[in-house]
Amino acid sequence: MDLRLLFLRLVIGGLCFSSMLAHAQTQDWLTAEKQTTPQIQSNPAISENIEEIRNLISLAVNGSFEESWNASIQLAAMGDIVVPYLLPFLADEREDLHRTQAIVVLKKVGSQAVLPLVLALDTDDYFLQQNICIVLREIRDTRSLGYLRWLLENSKGFSEVRPYAEQAIKAIGGPANTAKQTLYNQGMWYYTQTPSNDALNPHNVWRFEADKKNVAFVTVPESAYFASLAEETCNQALKIDPTDRSVWALLVCAYFKQYAETRNLSARAEGAELPDEVKKAYAKTEKLFVKKKVFGNTAGVDALMGGLTLAMDSNHPAVGVEILDAIGEVCNEQDLASGNPVFKALTSSHQMLRYASARALVRINPTKAFPGAERVIPNLAEAFNNKEVSLQASETLASLDPSRSIFNAGSAVDGLISLLASPTKEIKISTIRALGQIGNAKALGSLAKILSSKSEENNTRSDAAWAIGEIFKISGSIEPQAYEALIQGVRNSNSEIRNQSGLAMGKAAKLDPTKRFSLFIAEREAGNTATEEPSKEEEPSEESKEEEPSKESKEEEPSKEEEPSEEGSSEEMKDE
């Protein structure tokens, strides 16, 4: 088609639209005040009624003037969900009136239409790109600037589209930045937004589907909405320059913010008095965003380090914690250069960042000293007083091998001993194992009490016996209370407690031969006698007690020698 004719047809469509606006005495978008800052678009998603949308579109493009106008108003009220149904009309070069009516509706939708429209600019249809530029020119929303500028800068793009993109940019205004910088600024603005109190409020996040040459949306909760938009702008910026580290850092933060926000939301809901269906919705939301964490983990060391710096500088500690967990898994000592943000996090004003950085460094396990290394173990010990992370802290210390580490884990022993009083089984077990790994004799008395306690579960007591043996092996100290507890342990009715107690004695290299012989006597006696009552784990439950038949009922049951009655079934005879 001749470009001059195409331009004339588009101008006619624009004039027709302007006259309809004047007739309806609606806001004149052509003279609207230019926006210099982006506007928050967090309108709740509206349920998609496909049949209703199609019927209204049919009236809008084929009905009388009044029917068309009323249908346009109703479609505009539906918001962004009508955009995919109107894009085919924008791409239709044959039907001027239909295309004009589509433009009318989209301009009435206004700013809500911008996000799906700018993503649709990825199409390989130059005519559709031109018409989208016209709509964006009239809506005048600064969020479209980065995408419009890319149409100008892209040397592989359509030359026929550039004049339309340029006109739209001039109409919108704003600072003269490159497309990549504009997209990055927009993404930063999204990333720094705070969700409202209604964190489950649904919103549409759009994607362009190249195979269908159209856009489609997924519904996300408000807790993840703005971070999802930041992710989209970063993806667009990386299409322009996939090597930009600042964009990669922002993308990592966007991924982990989506995960952190939804996870925290689910955790708060778990302890709140909410209807079951609401709690299920929160839990479902968390599962949906676990994949965002996976994407963040795959970004690589440079992007993770850059993301951590950005998270701390922008005061998003929850995002920094998630990034630090990823750093602990994927980084090695060579990645810890001087001035590394992981070191900086050790002295952060946010406790959670201090804990997370210490965990990450223990996992990386550097072999050389670094600035702030003396803070690692105290940071973990500080975490013992925080119910949210005390388990993680004790598990981290349990994974530490002091013989291959530069960290002095012995300074955490007092805190670990106090943590043995925790009513949480998982915390107690990880603490026992941490004390065994550290090998400080100061813990022997406390561990002996756990081994001797009949109220503790068997696996907890066997772990205590293991830890005592590790301390014997590492420190060489043999504490009398621990020795007596092991003597009783080898006579216990539980095989694992006996086994671990025996192994612990075997690790006591400095044990007096006379005492070791008394142990052999105890082991021999253990074959015939159990000196202890069943532990907590072995006690029958109330339900099993109720199910146990009484003595009288047992006497009433026929013995195996008794013959079945003539009335007994063949199955009963078979069983007997």
DSSP letters spanning 152-175: HH-TTS-TTTHHHHHHHHHHH---
Q: What percent of the chain has pLDDT over 90?
A: 51
**Alpha-helical runs (H) found in 173-218:** 179-191
Task: Say yes or no to pLDDT of 27 above 70.
Answer: no
Inter-CA distances, 571 with 560, 564, 566, Å:
15, 11, 13
Task: Say yes or no to pLDDT of 23 above 50.
Answer: no
Of the ranges 66-70, 153-157, 447-451, which is most confident?
447-451
- What's the confidence (pLDDT) of residue 131? 96
* Amino acid identity for residue 440 in this structure: N
Instruction: Give tens-digit pLDDT for 237-267.
Output: 999 999 999 999 999 999 999 988 877 776 6
Residue, of 62 and 420, whose pLDDT is higher: 420
Sign of the CA dihedral 57, 59, 64, 65?
Answer: negative
Residue, of 553 and 424, whose pLDDT is higher: 424
Strand, helix or coil at 209? strand
Task: Say yes or no to pLDDT of 156 above 90.
Answer: no
Inter-CA distances, 493 with 238, 454, 463, 505, 529, Å:
65, 12, 16, 18, 8
Task: Say yes or no to pLDDT of 514 above 60.
Answer: yes
Looking at the chain, how many residues does it have?
576
Inter-CA distances, 10 with 5, 94, 96, 116, 429, Å:
9, 12, 8, 21, 73
Task: Say yes or no to pLDDT of 303 above 60.
Answer: yes
Task: Say yes or no to pLDDT of 281 above 80.
Answer: no
pLDDT tier for residue 517 given thresholds of 50, 70 and 90: confident
Tell me which DSSP letter residue 206 carries.
E
- What's the confidence (pLDDT) of residue 528? 54
- What's the confidence (pLDDT) of residue 442? 93
- Helix (H) or strand (E) holding 452, with range, is helix 444-452
- What's the confidence (pLDDT) of residue 277? 64
Task: Say yes or no to pLDDT of 283 above 70.
Answer: no
Residue 101 half-sphere exposure toward CB, CA atoms < 13 A: 27
Task: Give me the numbers of helices (H) and strands (E) for the chain, helices first please.
Answer: 30, 2
pLDDT tier for residue 269 given thresholds of 50, 70 and 90: low
Sequence-distant (6+) residues with CB within 8 A of 411 are: 377, 378, 381
Between CA 514 and CA 404 the distance in angstroms is 35
Contact 154, 119 (CB under 8 A): no
pTM: 0.77
Task: Say yes or no to pLDDT of 169 above 80.
Answer: yes
Task: Say yes or no to pLDDT of 520 above 90.
Answer: no
Segment 143-151 mean pLDDT: 96
- What's the confidence (pLDDT) of residue 211? 86
Residue, of 335 and 537, whose pLDDT is higher: 335
Task: Say yes or no to pLDDT of 561 above 50.
Answer: no
For the ranges 50-59, 427-436, 447-456, the lowest mean pLDDT is seen at 50-59
For the ranges 16-25, 117-126, 218-227, 567-576, the lowest mean pLDDT is seen at 16-25
For the ranges 2-6, 78-82, 143-147, 496-500, the lowest mean pLDDT is seen at 2-6
Task: Say yes or no to pLDDT of 274 above 90.
Answer: no
- What's the confidence (pLDDT) of residue 554? 42
End-to-end CA distance of the chain: 94
Contact 400, 381 (CB under 8 A): no
- What's the confidence (pLDDT) of residue 519? 67
Q: What share of the chain is helix, strand, coil (3-state, %, to 5)?
A: 65, 5, 30
Strand, helix or coil at 219? strand
Q: Which two tokens stand for residue 126?
A: 């130059």
Query: Mean pLDDT of all residues in the chain?
Result: 81
Segment 518-523 mean pLDDT: 68
Task: Say yes or no to pLDDT of 279 above 50.
Answer: yes
For the ranges 102-106, 216-220, 405-409, 453-457, the lowest mean pLDDT is seen at 216-220
Segment 445-450 mean pLDDT: 95
pLDDT tier for residue 21 given thresholds of 50, 70 and 90: very low
Task: Say yes or no to pLDDT of 45 above 80.
Answer: no
Residue, of 562 and 119, whose pLDDT is higher: 119
